[in-house]
């Protein structure tokens, strides 16, 4: 995923050449590329020039590893899980690319949306029936589109863009209704906390732009795997029971 993120603008190079340190050009060995472990052994620095390695690498590796484990834990080792692996891949590339460039690829979003719909159809008999699936996906997509669209209109594209609307659509069909609300709640809360930390530690202004895609991805994955449990827990609180 990190290779795709850093080479996304020149996609054909993904399968060409060895990974190198972007600072000194040192060609990385296989033992420099073990997820998480190599970053820890190298203490976050290039073996050759000791230039700092982006923290994006371990973050992507960690979240992707957790997501892949949860796919196996919840759905098992079946061919339909390969579709979810593709969706996770789309989300993680979106996470990293938006964090670096503050852009969301429309192509990736459509790949993710179509893949989720195919997965839902492929698992229709196991997980749900048509009467159950249609409102979950339909209302999920509607809410997923509506929230970023409202913010785009209100801010005239300053807070969010068209890519966020497509990402919201993907999250909606993936998490479904009502778990889509869990995804957005987690995204807005974590994004706000991150923004406040930047203000407190790095002297950023509240007007400075912060990539929102990574927080939407975290919210999407949490809502997909545990949205139902979170919604049930919330609805069973004493003052709502």
Q: Where are the beta strands (DSSP E) in the chain?
A: none
Average confidence (pLDDT) over 30-51: 91
Q: Which long-range contacts (CB under 8 A, 24 or more apart) does 46-52 make?
A: 46/21, 48/21, 48/24, 49/21, 49/23, 49/24, 51/21, 51/23, 51/24
Contact in structure between 177 and 136 (CB atoms under 8 Å): yes
Between CA 85 and CA 53 the distance in angstroms is 26
Residue 240 lies in a domain: no
41 located within any domain: yes
**Beta-bridge partner residues of 20:** 27
98 and 118 share one domain: yes
Note whether 149 and 213 are same-domain residues.
yes
Picking from 58-72, 168-182, 198-212, which range would have the lowest pLDDT averaged per residue?
Answer: 198-212
Q: Is the Cβ–Cβ distance between 94 and 76 less than 8 Å? A: no
Res 203 pLDDT > 70: no
**Do 96 and 178 share a structural domain?**
yes
pTM of the model: 0.88
The per-residue pLDDT for 200 is 79
Q: Kindly state whether residues 35 and 74 are assigned to the same domain.
A: no
**CA nearest neighbour of 171 among 91, 71, 73:** 91
10 and 97 within one domain: no
The domain total for the chain is: 2
Distance CA 98, CA 103 (A): 5
For residues 151 and 177, membership in a common domain is answered with: yes
Same structural domain, 75 and 47: no
pLDDT value for 234: 87
Question: Is the residue at 202 inside a domain?
Answer: yes
* Bridge partners (DSSP) listed for residue 45: 52
- Look at residue 104 and tell me whether its pLDDT is greater than 80: yes
Domain boundary, last residue among 10, 38, 54: 54
CB-based burial, 76-92: b 16+ in 10 Å, e otherwise: eeeebbebbebbbbbbb
Residue-averaged pLDDT of the chain: 88
Asked if 35 contacts 61 with a C-beta cutoff of 8 angstroms, the reply is: yes
> CA–CA separation, 223 vs 177, rounded Å?
10
Q: What is the pLDDT of residue 95?
A: 95
Task: Look at 17 and 136; give whichever has higher pLDDT.
Answer: 136
Domain that holds residue 84: 59-235
| Confidence at residue 75, expressed as pLDDT on a 0 to 100 scale | 92
Residue 125: pLDDT over 90: no
Q: Does residue 172 lie within any of the structural domains?
A: yes
Domain boundary among 37, 54, 71: 54
Residue 241: inside a domain:
no
Which of 54, 71, 88 delimits the end of a domain? 54
Per residue in 3-17, pLDDT (tens digit) is 889 888 877 777 777
Burial grade of 52 (CB within 10 A; 0-12, 13-18, 19 or more): exposed
């Amino acid at each position: 995923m990190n290779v795709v993120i850093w080479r996304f603008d020149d996609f054909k190079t993904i399968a060409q050449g060895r990974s190198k340190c972007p600072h000194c050009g040192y060609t990385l060995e296989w033992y420099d590329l073990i997820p998480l472990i190599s970053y820890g052994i190298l203490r976050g620095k290039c073996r050759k020039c000791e230039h700092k390695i982006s923290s994006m690498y371990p973050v992507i590796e960690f979240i992707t590893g957790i997501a892949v484990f949860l796919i196996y834990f919840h759905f098992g080792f079946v061919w339909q899980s390969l579709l979810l692996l593709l969706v996770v891949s789309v989300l993680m590339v979106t996470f990293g690319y938006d964090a670096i460039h503050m852009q969301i690829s429309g192509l990736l979003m459509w790949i993710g949306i179509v893949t989720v719909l195919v997965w839902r159809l492929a698992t229709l008999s196991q997980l749900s029936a048509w009467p159950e699936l249609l409102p979950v996906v339909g209302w999920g997509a509607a809410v997923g589109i509506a929230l970023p669209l409202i913010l785009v209109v209100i801010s005239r594209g300053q807070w969010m863009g068209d890519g966020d609307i497509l990402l919201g659509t993907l999250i909606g069909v993936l998490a479904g209704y009502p778990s889509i609300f869990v995804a957005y709640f987690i995204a807005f809360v974590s994004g706000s906390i991150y923004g406040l930390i930047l203000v407190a530690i790095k002297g950023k202004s509240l007007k400075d732009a912060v990539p929102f895609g990574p927080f939407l991805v975290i919210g999407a994955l949490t809502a997909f795997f545990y949205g139902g449990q979170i919604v049930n827990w919330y609805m069973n609180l004493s003052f709502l029971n």
